[in-house]
Amino acid sequence: MNDSSAASTAESPVPGLHDDLVRHLQHLQVERRLAARTLTMYTQAFHRLQHFAGVAAVALREVQPHHVRRWAGQLHAQGLAPGSIAIELSAWRGFYRWLGRDGFVLQNPVAGVRAPKAAKPLPKALSVDQAVALAAFEAPPPARAHGAAIAARDQCLTELLYGCGLRVAELVSLDAQPGAHAVGWVDIADATAHVLGKGRKRRSVPVGAAALQALQAWLALRDQLAAADEPALLVGQRGARLTTNQARLSLKQRAQQAGLPTHVHPHMLRHSFATHLLQSSGDLRAVQELLGHANISATQVYTKLDFGHLSKVYDAAHPRAKKQGPA
């Protein structure tokens, strides 16, 4: 090493760390006033930088971009999270920017190096057994006015979310009847839901027999809740269109009553619809169309979920696509 990378650090306030790194830490502490926790993380990052440079037998001031890329890859291979690697690279980048201000390096070797992207968390989905149990659950009518109508509405809500893979905003936007001003509606005769999705893109989704049955049961009682001039398919106790928050709360309460061991929200049923259907059919493009994804990459996340065991539980493209026979 030719810039005294192995220079003595006996008097250094950070034992074992190169003088350049120590002076930079002092700059961060005194002039930049970084928090103690940040300084601790940066100190650890600089120890790793010095270690990598020592193993590669390269002076700190002579580190090149290919060195940094290789070291970032090694950190990733060692199991360091992408977010932690980003912090590491940020510390190194600041160090070389600081050296460059005083002319000690001609280029910042970390300038063009980025941490690996953090993996997106896989969407949570119910198992088939859980989803079917939730959809088929006959909740006792609430002990308040029009309790039977509320129970029928929540059954319909659940079946449409899971049976059609709708977003909650798409669900509550449905009208009871098609019309010039209707954003979306369900054509019972054609067993099709017509919805307006993200980007104001329209799509049509098949409605399974179980969802149709629940829909008809709700429509028979809807007038008990709906205001006379309310076009919405799903309404609250005051007769107006159900809000997304009301839909979430109704589903949460229904899942608790059904004894599901996890918090259930509308988007979880959309995830369940996608994973169960994809596992059974294997048709990624079809699932993309049903979900209304503009880009297939948004649908591909469901291929990473391990639901291999589900194929033994059901034999149709979707577990609620067929009428359930008598018990």
Domain ranges of the chain: 1-119, 128-312
* Catalytic site includes residue 97: no
Catalytic residue list contains 167: yes
Among residues 293, 314, 318, 320, the one annotated as catalytic is 293
Q: Is 201 a catalytic residue?
A: no
On the question of pLDDT at 140 being above 50, the answer is yes
- What sections of 18-176 are H helices per DSSP? 19-30, 36-55, 65-77, 82-101, 128-136, 147-164, 168-172
* 146 catalytic residue (yes or no): no
Say what the pLDDT of residue 156 is.
Answer: 96
Catalytic status, residue 70:
no
Instruction: Spot the catalytic one: 51, 114, 198, 201.
Output: 198
Chain-centroid distance, C-alpha 71: 30
Residue 304: pLDDT band (50, 70, 90) is low
Fold of 1-119: DNA polymerase; domain 1 (1.10.150)
Fold category of 128-312 in CATH: hpI Integrase; Chain A (1.10.443)
To the query of whether residue 293 is one of the catalytic residues in this protein, the response is: yes
Catalytic residue among 24, 167, 265, 318: 167
Backbone angles phi, psi at 232, to 5 degrees: -65, 145
Q: What is the mean predicted confidence (pLDDT) over 233-237?
A: 95
Q: Which of 302, 314, 318, 320 is catalytic?
A: 302
Range of lowest pLDDT (50-54, 218-222, 319-323): 319-323
Catalytic residue chosen out of the listed positions 67, 270, 271, 320 = 270
Q: What is the pLDDT of residues 61-95, one digit of tens each?
A: 999 999 999 999 999 889 888 889 999 999 999 99
What are the residues facing 192 on neighbouring strands?
187, 206
Q: Do domains 1-119 and 128-312 have the same CATH topology?
A: no
User: What's the chain's average pLDDT?
Assistant: 83
> Which pLDDT belongs to residue 300?
59
- pLDDT higher than threshold 50 for residue 11: no
Distance, in Å, from the CA atom of 315 to the CA atom of 189, rounded to the nearest integer, reads 25
Query: Rounded to an integer, what distance in angstroms lies between the CA atom of residue 323 and that of residue 327?
Result: 12
